Structure 1
Amino acid sequence: MKTVYVDGKFLPWDKAMIPVDDLAVLRGYAVCDIIRTIGGKPYCLDAHIDRLLSSATKIGLTPAWTKQEIKELVLKVIEKNTHMDEANIRILVTGGSSPDFFSPADNPRLIILATDIPALPAQWYTKGVKVITFFQQRVLPDAKATNYIPAVLALKKAKAQGAVEALYMTRDNMVLEGTTSNLFALVDGTLVTPENGVLKGITRKTVLALGEKLFPVSEQDLSLDTLLSASELFITGTNKGIVPVIQVNDHVIGTGLPGPGTRALIEAMKNQQGGTSNSSSVV
């Protein structure tokens, strides 16, 4: 039985609940983060908690827990779910119960749950994937908030077109990020990723550090035209790792196969994780 931490208590999965007057339920007012384990240990735990606390501050939530307290609770949740070989650890800080059903009352809730890591198709990494573009921008891109309505709509459209992800794009055709991923392109030998208007993922940071050892690296605005002319594209995320992109809308990227630069980064990531394979276990 999975064990969940909710508002000060460790509870069985089917007993975990929050009140219906919590602002996470009423208004979608909450932040979240997701950490995966590798070898049973949370990967980049400090960075994820730092982002969680930063996200809370950016939406006006005052967390009632220190970073160290959250770390200890995450480790306890992992200990209480040892029946799972590897897990995603999802952390949420909600707006708490509200007397007027709108305004925060300085009583946030903390939720930590362990879930199974989804098995992604091996062909994503060997053959690449298709993505689409979708006109959308995050209201607060630096905050990982739980309002994913635009993402749900974008991903539904992507799946209808045989794609695995949708890339957010501004009305002036600047490409930003995916619904749950960051975007990278190899442009004239330089590894490029959008800098502004995106949620800067933990895996993004790791890839930038690895990429600096292989290519010139640039964080900059990325137009759709530049994106489509890139020799290689890939997306990154906690549950994706590095996924080669070989098609955007109806346009084939490069040779239509995962390129050597992307494959080199996948291998570098694998080595950095101690031999973990992207197709079954990623950051």
Structure 2
Amino acid sequence: MSVYDYVLTESDFVHKDDLHYPFEERGLQFGDGIYEVIRVYNGKYYLIDEHVERLYRSADAVKLKMPFSKEEMYQQLDALLQKNEIQNDAKVYMQITRGSAPRDHAFPLNVKSNLYAYVQDLSRKMDFMAEGVSAITRPDVRWDWCYIKSLNLLPNVIAKQEASEQGCFEAILHKDGEVTECSSSNVYMVRDGKVYTHPAKENILHGCVRTRMKQFCEDESIPFVEEPFRVEDIQDADELFLTSSTAEVMPIVQVDGKAVEGGQVGSITRKLQHKYEQDAGIKESQSMFSHVKAQ
């Protein structure tokens, strides 16, 4: 997945080969920054309002001064797609740090924040969404402010790596047995026709796709219960799935080597996948369901 040529910075659009920051950069030295990953379908942003709002909430939470107003940010993000002539499925990664300054824990004075945003192609994970994925469970050892989309992701990275080493797609995290979320996604359990997920408190990321899941469930008269479930509840789950901007609505059919409800993707997960495609404006010819039928 190569990066498209033009990168948005705090001052201009630059070629990716010309993007340089000093080694004394607070994002590198302290993880002193925030980020967003925004999905693009057929050259158009999906859930752009939710992502921009969350970006600015994160900035406020860590007292980071943004280089653009919200209105300017929308304009710049649109220009980024236009500059790179994006017409396909892709993702935009955006990162803002407190800037470049001599290393000191206290905030530097009169230093501008550093921003960059770039575009990469990103095809949909059709086979995974059709057949489901496997996961492992791991203790949630992250800090308490996971609602901030900060650059401090080492515990997430380690959990994801442990999942990868076991041939799994994700790691389901828990605190003392109470499931919070995954290393890079929100997670949901279906039981008796109800969808359960951890409430949107400070200790989980308030996923943009998560907000749509709640809406989709309401549209379909599916009870959406925002209360934690436990690791041991997974063995009795009717369905299990995760959501994120890059994974969409992803069924989980195996956890810690044990099948979830026979290892089959459930009907509620399928219904929510369909709702997602409709909401994202995905054409029928590009639908995961059409992909499955064609196989």
Normalised to the residue count of structure 1, the TM-score between the two structures is 0.92
The secondary structure found in structure 1 opposite 2:210 is helix
Q: Distance in 1 between matches of 2:27 and 2:253?
A: 37
Structure 1 residues without counterparts, runs of 5 or longer: none
The one-letter amino acid of 1:95's match is R
Contact 2:241–2:269 (Cα < 8 Å) also in 1: yes
What are the superposed Cα offsets for residues 23-43 of structure 1, whole Å, 9 maximum, x if unpaired?
A: 001111110001111231211
The match for 1:157 among 162, 167, 183 is 162
Matches within 5 A, 1:109-258: 109-120=114-125, 122-139=126-143, 140-170=145-175, 172-195=176-199, 196=201, 197-214=203-220, 215-258=222-265
Structure 1 position 79 matched with structure 2 position 75:
no
Q: Percent identity?
A: 26
> How much is the aligned-residue C-alpha RMSD, in angstroms?
1.8
Q: Distance in 2 between matches of 1:123 and 1:46?
A: 29
The one-letter amino acid of 1:4's match is V
- Give the aligned length: 278
The one-letter amino acid of 1:146's match is L
Q: Distance in 2 between matches of 1:237 and 1:41?
A: 17
Matched with 1:107 is 112
Q: Are residues 19 and 84 of structure 1, via their aligned partners in 2, closer, same or farther at CA, if it must alter by over 3 Å? A: farther
Matched with 2:293 is none
The secondary structure found in structure 2 opposite 1:255 is helix
Give the structure with the higher percent helix. 2
- Regions of 4+ moved over 3 Å: 275-280
Contact 1:7–1:111 (Cα < 8 Å) also in 2: yes
The match for 1:267 among 253, 274, 279 is 274
Normalised to the residue count of structure 2, the TM-score between the two structures is 0.89
| Higher alpha-carbon deviation: 46-55 or 218-227 | 218-227
Contact 2:29–2:103 (Cα < 8 Å) also in 1: no
The one-letter amino acid of 1:44's match is L
Shift of 1:137: 4.0
The match for 1:98 among 96, 101, 115 is 101
What are the superposed Cα offsets for residues 202-256 of structure 1, whole Å, 9 maximum, x if unpaired?
A: 0111111101223111111121122331100001010111010011112211121
The one-letter amino acid of 1:206's match is R
The one-letter amino acid of 1:142's match is Y
Structure 2 residues without counterparts, runs of 5 or longer: 290-295
